[in-house]
Amino acid sequence: MELRDLRTFATVARTLNFRRTSECLNTAQSTISARIAGLEEELGTRLFDRLGARVVLTEAGSRLLGYAQKMLDLEDEARTWIMDGAEVRGSLTVRVPESLCVHRMGGAIRSFREQFPLIKLSFITCTLDGLEKDLRLGVTDLAFVYMDAVKAADLQVECLGVEPLVLASAAGHPMARRANVTPEAFQGASLLLAKGDCSYRRMFEELLAEAGVETGVGMEFSSLAALGLCLSAGMGITILPEVAVRGGLRDGSWSVLSWQGEALETGILMIRHREKWLSPPLRAFMELARTGISASLHA
């Protein structure tokens, strides 16, 4: 097995798309297909199932990915030490919640780009579904999540701070005029929520369920911008990090509800696999994220 073919395989496994892989590697799509076919022939097994336009890893492909990533990490480590002082090249794939990336990590990203201009950064909106598996397989180098705890012996979890959460509505929404908003006030209310695996969304839904509250038919979004448009239009109520609603409060389009229930907050966790090699770029990004998020929380 050649490292070139393993890198191609790992990129296809990350993108699950041969066209995007060819763009990432600046290689013809026919070459990508030929490398994967050659690797499958060499190993005597299929690594991907082609389901129409979709590509999915087979069980054998999932097993190979972990080993491939370790070999590629070792190559990167050797290259870094041998070059010693030359400009570092490579890539980092980071999974991070949209609101955290937008409102807390701008300085870290800017500083990283200045230090490592030849490192390709890929940011993927963080969902809990499949996250631990991707970290173990090396598909994701580093992840940030809004959660209070993640328990997994092979993952290194670091809490970077506590993110305050708020309940928000359009400024003219009837709930915005209430002096005391309790869980019972959400009976039959329409909620505008981030995707189902958003941890703070789950926390709020569980809180309402414990109070015996049944909300009305709401809406679910994968984009905070789309959620914000519907919020401004008075179509429901949402729960978001406090930092994410400041713009709407400044222009007067949104209001924060006078919540009287238990404090709404969530931890900000940084997660990596314990065996993941801390390359200079990865180590630097982690430190910049620690510093930047901490400073933002205390600003």
Q: Report the C-alpha gap between 167 and 258 in whole angstroms.
A: 8
Number of domains within the chain: 2
The percentage of residues in the chain with a pLDDT greater than 70, rounded to a whole number, is 94
Query: Is 287 contained in some domain?
Result: no
Render pLDDT for 97-128 as a digit per residue (tens, 0 to 9).
Answer: 999 999 999 999 999 999 888 888 889 887 77
Query: Is 79 contained in some domain?
Result: yes
85, 100, 129 - which closes a domain: 85
Render pLDDT for 27-76 as a digit per residue (tens, 0 to 9).
Answer: 888 898 899 888 888 888 999 888 776 788 888 888 888 788 778 777 77
Residue 86 clears pLDDT 60, i.e. is over it: no
Residue 185 clears pLDDT 80, i.e. is over it: yes
- Please give the helix or strand (H or E) that residue 29 lies within, else none: helix 29-43
- How many CA atoms within 13 Å lie on the side-chain side of 5? 15
Which band of pLDDT confidence, cut at 50, 70 and 90, is reported for residue 196?
Answer: low
Q: Which domain holds residue 2?
A: 1-85
CATH number of residue 246's parent domain:
3.40.190.290
Q: What is the DSSP letter of 183?
A: G
CATH number of residue 29's parent domain:
1.10.10.10
Tell me, yes or no, whether 169 and 258 share the same domain: yes
Residue showing tokens 């701070």: 161
Tell me, yes or no, whether 167 and 256 share the same domain: yes
52, 85, 118 - which closes a domain: 85
Query: Is 65 contained in some domain?
Result: yes
Which band of pLDDT confidence, cut at 50, 70 and 90, is reported for residue 83?
Answer: low
**What is the average per-residue pLDDT within 224-237?**
94
The alpha carbon dihedral of 173, 179, 181, 182 has a sign of negative
Tell me, yes or no, whether 170 and 260 share the same domain: yes
Residue 295 clears pLDDT 80, i.e. is over it: yes
Query: Is 10 contained in some domain?
Result: yes
Residue 191 clears pLDDT 60, i.e. is over it: yes
Query: Is 213 contained in some domain?
Result: yes
Tell me, yes or no, whether 80 and 167 share the same domain: no
Mean confidence (pLDDT) of the chain: 87
**What is the average per-residue pLDDT within 158-183?**
93
Tell me, yes or no, whether 167 and 253 share the same domain: yes
Strands 155-170 and 265-273: antiparallel
